[in-house]
Structure 1
Amino acid sequence: MIPEAPRPDLPAALGYRLPAEWEPHAATWIAWPHNRDDWPGKFGPIPWVYVEIVRHLSRVERVNILVEGRKARQRAAQQLADGGANLENVHFVKGRTDRVWTRDYAPTFLVNERADADPVALIDWKFNGWAKYKNHRLDDRIPRKLARRLGLRRWKPEVTVGGEPRRLVLEGGAIDTNGRGTLLTTEECLLSPIQARNPGLSREDLERVLADYLGIRQVIWLGRGIAGDDTHGHVDDITRFVGPRTVVTVVEDDPTDLNYEPLQENLERLRSARDQDGQLLEVVPLPMPDPVVFQGQRLPASYANFYIANGLVLVPTFNDPADREALTILASLFSDRQVVGIHCVDLIWGLGALHCMTHEQPAAPVGTREPRAEEAREDPRAVSFSVSGLAEDPPPDPLPRERGAETDSPLPWELSRKHIR
């Protein structure tokens, strides 16, 4: 349990909290696939996997799609129309990205039941390509763009290490919450010297940041993630909240498998873990599929990488006998939602699945007003901000990029449906 009260004037002290994924959404944010190097030799089916995902999501909520430019928008719109998506709920937004994994570089949205003027705000963490890939600067700019587009207050957390200020690095896939003050994460991701996100910060330092900015009162530290995960231990591949005091956690039955021991250790930690009120959790085991291997590489296939939307849960499937068991377990836990399997054997070649490529934008709490676009407000003590240039692409990245990305001529920030042909 984090003992100290949140620091004044930061989000938690102002009444903001990190909501659970099952709370009402205003929209889901995704980025349309464009980087062929993320699925080498297998890019062809990927847009059609996205079509199927958007087809389901657009039935239940708005889907905001980041696109590289006009040509990308036109291709995506045509494919979505061909695939039967509800285009009334699909909105294209100009936003150049390095990759599609919005879970990790999109902002962390907060809600505030007490605030009339600012019921939704966001945290703009630094994104550094999982401390692994150099081409991440376009992705790192997305939170600023979304704050401007949505008219949301934005904080950019900083810490002092060795007397020098440093922005905090945190990816959305590294955390999961019950919305009531308890958060799941892993030591492998946040504390390991390998792919170190925040060198020099201790467990206690990170817990203080999570308390101040996200309203977290209890952090449950798991150990390691699954084999094949290039993020080095994201929790959204292993353990997820499905209710205020209920988690699912993947387990491996084969003692010879690389995942067996770390997942057993996580299971044991969860059985003794307590939430923000000191209560034990209900822990529901979820199976793992057989290893998914392509071109000799073990891929991070996991049923825990599901996405919870309004009235819907999308679950990755892998042509595996355990698909049915995983869907049945999750259907029993989400009795108020339709549980739908999405074939992810191709998608997982990009080293991510459904939760990795989606990011929820929470709805404003009941009784508060929705923010108005172009009203972005920043905490002057936490961020240096300029509104110039946000309606267009930023200047080209001065550093060479490891992987290619389509470019296009500038166009207005939001692309309305009248442009779809």
Structure 2
Amino acid sequence: MTKSQEIAPYRMPAEWEPHASTWLAWPHRGSDWPGKMEPIPWVYAEIVRALTRHETVNLIVPDDIRHAAATDALTRAGADISRVKLWEKPTDRSWVRDSGPIFVRDSAGGRVALDWHFNAWAKYPDWLQDDSLPAFVAESLGVKSVQPVRDGHRIVLEGGSIDVNGAGLLLTTEECLLSKTQERNPPFSRADYEAVFAEYLGVQKVLWLDRGIVGDDTHGHVDDLARFVNSRTVVTVVENDPSDENYQPLQENLERLGGMTDVHGTKLEVIPLPMPRPLIFEGTRLPASYANFYIANGTVIVPTFNDPADRLALGILADVFADREVVGISCVDLVWGFGTLHCMTQQEIATR
């Protein structure tokens, strides 16, 4: 451990550590789900219903009309409205995992909202309203906001591109952070990212995987690929069909994980998760993955795809999270927006 890592001012808690709430943004952009927008609010309502059994949901709505529509949908779906707080703010899209703040603790245990720069995955031109979301959340909560910088420039980072165990480890992919395609922070190197993660997230060791899954619009987010489920255990998706496009990349990642260790040099436990059969809509393969689950207080919500592998994935995660309720949420329609449950949620860590 280096001196800079020993005195890192911040620590990003693991997702399974206690939450004050979950933040979401009500879906309103029809072009994110072209031709399929009608069922999407009902998927969100089901997610909120599942989460409000265990924690508060902070829900961002763009205007009065969506405020009323969201309230009506949540009420009809049976969500616990007493545990939902609605906040009015325009957003470009609804993928709060990537546009929202990342909450960390400072050296005194207080909460800090990291305001990373968001540029719509270095792919789309409209992102200004989403980029202002972390500052809005921090101000609404009265939490200190910090904009991570390096060499005088704000750093672009999406929450879906990383996963942490809260004890010094971070998972990410070379495809997302080091590729010249959808390049977030040119000319950042591997060493640049590792220094940033040490300074702002308290990371002592970065575990670099290769590529993400086929169909991923973000170019390699790790939250569709491999996730920590405790401080030294990772679940990772594996494709069993050698003819599938995902087979070789996922085998490569599995092999890499098999040789990885924690900050003490102890080998990680690696648990394979199945992949659903290819999910194709209008000729487009969608990034359907069971790794895009979200861990909340007392529950884990897991995307399902009307696939035989649904029950296998739910069973594996139920064994891993024996102390939590594991709930499947049908995401056949939601994934047409190129993301599911983890992509749309962002945890707010508990006050202490």
> 1:92 and 1:146 mapped to 2: Cα distance?
12
> 2:223 and 2:266 mapped to 1: Cα distance?
22
Residue 242 in structure 1 maps to residue 214 in structure 2? no
Cα-to-partner distance string for 1:156-182 (whole Å, 9 max, x where unaligned) = 11122xxxx321100000000111110
Which of 252, 264, 282 pairs up with 2:251? Answer: 264
Cα-to-partner distance string for 1:226-284 (whole Å, 9 max, x where unaligned) = 00001000000000000010000000001111101110000000001111222110000
Residue 99 of structure 1: how far off its partner (Å): 0.5
**Map 1:85-124 → 2, pairs under 5 A:** 85-112=79-106, 115=108, 119-124=110-115
Residue 4 of structure 1: how far off its partner (Å): 4.8
Which of 8, 28, 40 pairs up with 1:13? Answer: 8
> 1:252 and 1:111 mapped to 2: Cα distance?
37
Paired residue for 1:190? 177
The one-letter amino acid of 2:269's match is E
Cα-to-partner distance string for 1:128-158 (whole Å, 9 max, x where unaligned) = 1000011111000000111111111121111
Native 8 Å contact 2:5 2:204 kept in 1: no
Paired residue for 1:156? 147
Paired residue for 2:350? 363
Paired residue for 2:154? 167
> 1:364 and 1:40 mapped to 2: Cα distance?
39
| Higher Cα Rg, which structure | 1
**Map 1:215-230 → 2, pairs under 5 A:** 215-230=202-217
Native 8 Å contact 2:5 2:203 kept in 1: no
Residue 298 in structure 1 maps to residue 304 in structure 2? no
The one-letter amino acid of 2:222's match is V
Which of 127, 136, 158 pairs up with 2:127? Answer: 136
Which of 18, 27, 30 pairs up with 1:24? Answer: 18
Q: Which runs of 5+ in 2 are unaligned?
A: none
Residue 201 of structure 1: how far off its partner (Å): 1.1
**SS of 1:356 mapped into structure 2:** helix
**Map 1:387-402 → 2, pairs under 5 A:** none
> 2:85 and 2:142 mapped to 1: Cα distance?
17
Paired residue for 2:71? 77
> 1:248 and 1:186 mapped to 2: Cα distance?
15
Cα-to-partner distance string for 1:39-62 (whole Å, 9 max, x where unaligned) = 000000000000100001011000
Native 8 Å contact 1:237 1:302 kept in 2: yes
Native 8 Å contact 2:8 2:198 kept in 1: no
Between 1 and 2, higher relative CO (CA 8 Å, sep ≥ 6) is seen in 1
**SS of 1:204 mapped into structure 2:** helix
Which of 26, 32, 37 pairs up with 1:38? Answer: 32
> 2:145 and 2:70 mapped to 1: Cα distance?
30
> 1:79 and 1:198 mapped to 2: Cα distance?
39
Native 8 Å contact 1:251 1:287 kept in 2: yes
Paired residue for 2:220? 233
Residue 3 of structure 1: how far off its partner (Å): 3.7
What fraction of aligned residue pairs are identical, expressed as a percent?
58
> 1:322 and 1:111 mapped to 2: Cα distance?
38
Residue 350 in structure 1 maps to residue 344 in structure 2? no
**SS of 2:272 mapped into structure 1:** strand
> 1:244 and 1:159 mapped to 2: Cα distance?
29
Q: What is the aligned length?
A: 352
Paired residue for 2:238? 251
Cα-to-partner distance string for 1:316-350 (whole Å, 9 max, x where unaligned) = 00000000000000000000000000000000000
Residue 13 of structure 1: how far off its partner (Å): 3.1
Which of 114, 118, 122 pairs up with 1:127? Answer: 118
Native 8 Å contact 1:111 1:364 kept in 2: no
Q: Aligned-residue CA RMSD in angstroms?
A: 1.1
> 2:160 and 2:3 mapped to 1: Cα distance?
26
Which of 41, 48, 57 pairs up with 2:42? Answer: 48
> 1:153 and 1:32 mapped to 2: Cα distance?
25
Moved over 4 A (4+): none
> 2:36 and 2:287 mapped to 1: Cα distance?
17
Which of 306, 311, 324 pairs up with 1:319? Answer: 306
Native 8 Å contact 2:224 2:290 kept in 1: yes
The one-letter amino acid of 1:337's match is R
Residue 6 of structure 1: how far off its partner (Å): 4.2
The one-letter amino acid of 2:234's match is V
The one-letter amino acid of 2:184's match is R
The one-letter amino acid of 2:306's match is N
The one-letter amino acid of 2:347's match is E
Paired residue for 1:146? 137
> 2:79 and 2:264 mapped to 1: Cα distance?
42
The one-letter amino acid of 2:135's match is R
Q: Which runs of 5+ in 1 are unaligned?
A: 366-421
Higher helix share: 2
